[in-house]
Amino acid sequence: MPTLYFEDMEIGRIQNFGSYKVTKEEMLDFAGKYDPQSFHTDEEAAKKSVFGALCTSGWHTGAMTMSMLVANMKATGFASLGSPGLDNLNWKLPVFAGDVLSVQNELIEKRESKSRPNLGLVKIKQKTLNQKGETVMELTANAMVAKRPV
Amino acid sequence: MPTLYFEDMEIGRIQNFGSYKVTKEEMLDFAGKYDPQSFHTDEEAAKKSVFGALCTSGWHTGAMTMSMLVANMKATGFASLGSPGLDNLNWKLPVFAGDVLSVQNELIEKRESKSRPNLGLVKIKQKTLNQKGETVMELTANAMVAKRPV
């Protein structure tokens, strides 16, 4: 498989990938460890909350999305060197047990690093979708990508 | 314990709280499920990476920070109704096994909701610190907070 370097990345390229089935067991496990707010841990309390039913932690949605991203990086040979951060992140709709998530990525910017000649920086607009095609989470990620070795 | 409503929140208030010991076992468990990049899962590969040693997933740092936030919300009676998102997020330094994390929060903005008279919106500048006092993650969070019932 060829490696996808900074030079190979085209602005405007859209990728759709991933399929992650959200289970109640995994939601409760994550919430118990990291986000034990009642609308994430207690079905009765969640029914009375603004969400209307048990929904998962936004950080869990981020983590599940990351697992699809890493699988896609490995499948496409994307020469990622990690991310310094996100420009923004919106949790737009709650994620419920039984939802099936996927990802849509669009490359919106690329530039060479001034301080590190061996890498470039890209901005990716990233949507996490549910099985109805609704966007549940949206963010703009910054990523470092290796340049093609000379 | 009194509940801390929107009306009780003061701009400029700084809170320091939390103590979360990062273990290699938990880092590897999280990375195996959600972020299996080699610098998060393989000690030898991590030594050769830009990070210099096995470091945890940025989403794990977010999740550990959330667990400290929720514990603090419960301890202070903060009437949080969840978060619509973040304005930005920066992973500034890697987090290693053995690090002990804590949180510093500053309330930087508050305004009433136009569409929902029973809640207000606040912006919180949030730093996750390591045991040396270095900021490892920084973000600005938006949160919905209940108003005092009339």
Spell out the per-residue pLDDT of chain B, length 150, in tens: 789 999 999 999 999 999 999 999 999 999 999 999 999 999 999 999 889 999 999 999 999 999 999 999 999 999 888 899 999 999 999 999 999 999 999 999 999 999 999 999 999 999 999 999 999 999 999 999 999 998
Q: Residue B113 has what pLDDT?
A: 93
Three-class DSSP category at A113: coil
Token digits of residue B74: 């419960």
Looking at the domain assignment, is residue B1 inside a domain? no
Looking at the domain assignment, is residue B99 inside a domain? yes
Task: Kindly provide the residue ranges of all beta strands, DSSP E only, lying in A53-118, ordered along the sequence.
Answer: 85-91, 100-112
Looking at the domain assignment, is residue A11 inside a domain? yes
Q: Residue B150 has what pLDDT?
A: 83
- How many angstroms separate the CA atoms of A128 and A134, rounded? 8
Token digits of residue B147: 């108003």
CB B145 within 8 A of CB B5: yes
Looking at the domain assignment, is residue B106 inside a domain? yes
Three-class DSSP category at A135: strand
Q: Residue B35 has what pLDDT?
A: 97
Would the CB atoms of B82 and A50 count as touching at under 8 Å? yes
Of A63, A82, A91, the CB nearest to B59: A63
What's the pLDDT tens digit per position in A51-75? Answer: 999 999 999 999 999 999 999 999 9
- How many angstroms separate the CA atoms of A100 and A44, rounded? 23
- Confidence (pTM): 0.96
Q: Residue B50 has what pLDDT?
A: 84
Of A50, A67, A88, the CB nearest to B35: A67
Report yes or no: B89 at the A interface, CB cutoff 8 Å: yes
CB B143 within 8 A of CB B83: yes
Q: Residue A49 has what pLDDT?
A: 87
Report yes or no: B135 at the A interface, CB cutoff 8 Å: no
Q: Which residue has the tokens 């190979």?
A: A8
CATH number at residue A123: 3.10.129.10
Would the CB atoms of A88 and B86 count as touching at under 8 Å? yes
Cα–Cα distances in angstroms (integers) from residue B23 to residues B95, B96, B132, in the given order: 10, 8, 17
- Tell which of A23, A68, A70 to mutate to test the B interface (max B CBs under 10 Å): A70
What's the pLDDT tens digit per position in A12-56? Answer: 999 999 999 999 999 999 999 999 999 999 999 999 988 999 999
ipTM of the prediction greater than 0.85, yes or no: yes
Q: Residue A27 has what pLDDT?
A: 98
Looking at the domain assignment, is residue A1 inside a domain? no
- How many angstroms separate the CA atoms of A142 and A147, rounded? 16
Report yes or no: B81 at the A interface, CB cutoff 8 Å: yes
Question: What percent of chain A shows pLDDT beyond 70?
Answer: 100
Looking at the domain assignment, is residue A100 inside a domain? yes
Looking at the domain assignment, is residue A49 inside a domain? yes
Determine the structural domain holding residue A77 and report its residue range.
Answer: 6-146
Query: How would residue A107 be classed by pLDDT, with cut points 50, 70 and 90?
Result: very high
Report yes or no: A88 at the B interface, CB cutoff 8 Å: yes
CB A8 within 8 A of CB A147: no
Query: How would residue A142 be classed by pLDDT, with cut points 50, 70 and 90?
Result: very high
A37 CB burial (10 A radius; 0-12, 13-18, 19+): buried
Q: Residue B129 has what pLDDT?
A: 98
Q: Tell me the one-letter amino acid at A146.
A: A
Of A36, A64, A84, the CB nearest to B34: A64
Q: Residue B2 has what pLDDT?
A: 80
Phi, psi at B81, each rounded to 5°: -115, 20
**Alpha-carbon B64 to chain mean position:** 7
**Number of structural domains chain A divides into:** 1
Looking at the domain assignment, is residue B44 inside a domain? yes
